Amino acid sequence: MKYKIFLSLIIFFIIISPSFGNFLRKNEHITLFEPVKGVYIFKIPNNGQYEVIPYVSSKLITNREVFKKTNSKFVINAGFFDPINQKTTSNIIINQKLEADLKENENLFDNNEILPYLSKISNRGEFRIKKVKNNIKYDISYPYEAVEKNETIIHSIQAGPIILPVMDLEKEFFILKDKNGKIIRESASVLQKRARSVVALKKNTNDLFFIVVSNDNPMSLPQLQRFLISFGFEKALNLDGGPSTSVNFKDFEIYSSHKEPRKLKSFLLVK
């Protein structure tokens, strides 16, 4: 009898202990996981505790500076930009307003070599933050794809290419082939091993994931696609990568440029 009482007391104290409670309770905080060396997965719970929002700077600025300036919990590089004129090459919507318009970039629209492919560039994949009734829903799609009647796009940021469910590098003008099928143009080093930044979604969860591939384990996009499939991701969008790859989270920082973080145009914040 005494043994049963003693055992019951032990079980009781284990159950009420904070550590056991944390074990049972679904993790409500941003978590960082390094499944293989040099590749980092950040999970952002979609539980109403965090707000994910794009950020566009009027002048080029580092990820680190945005992290400190906005007092965010997490910041990652996002859309493409032109380092020559510091203008965007990705459309970005914040609070239902177009804050970055690639049509204003004369280096795109006055470039005779690019003009035949502007329709493809304008329809590169985008990350959407939608409101469905009072809930937030994340999605990855093409700009021309309509939303459901009960959905409203609050924020969106264009980058590309879409990696999952299907990657089409020609459709988004990241590669160009001649009539014989030979690649004669490649953008964003999509077929080369580079550092990468990715936003991704999994099936049957509303949580958001960011994947950062550092210079310690660089990947081409076909390699990265296989990696993402192996970890169960359903949708994924490539963000501006290579030397632009950068992330700040607490005291953790990654940047893939040499010596100092590269100055960038747009970001995704978690507040």
For tokens 């080093």, name the residue.
189
* Strand runs labelled E in 159-245: 162-164, 175-177, 183-186, 196-202, 208-213, 233-238
- Interatomic CA distance for residues 139 and 121, integer angstroms: 19
Q: Which residues contact 146 (CB under 8 A, 6 or more apart)?
A: none
Query: pLDDT tens across 244-254, in order?
Result: 999 999 999 99
pLDDT in tens, 137-194: 999 999 999 998 899 999 999 999 999 999 999 999 999 999 999 999 999 999 999 9
Q: Closest Cα to residue 50, out of 34, 33, 27, 68?
A: 27
Specify the pTM: 0.88
Identify the pLDDT of residue 258: 87
Q: Is 189 exposed, middle or buried (0-12, 13-18, 19+ CB in 10 A)?
A: middle
Angstrom CA distances, 225 to 33, 155, 175, 197, stand at: 18, 25, 16, 12
pLDDT tens for residues 31-70?
999 999 999 999 999 998 999 999 999 999 999 999 999 9
Check whether the bond before 143 is cis (ω within 30° of 0): no
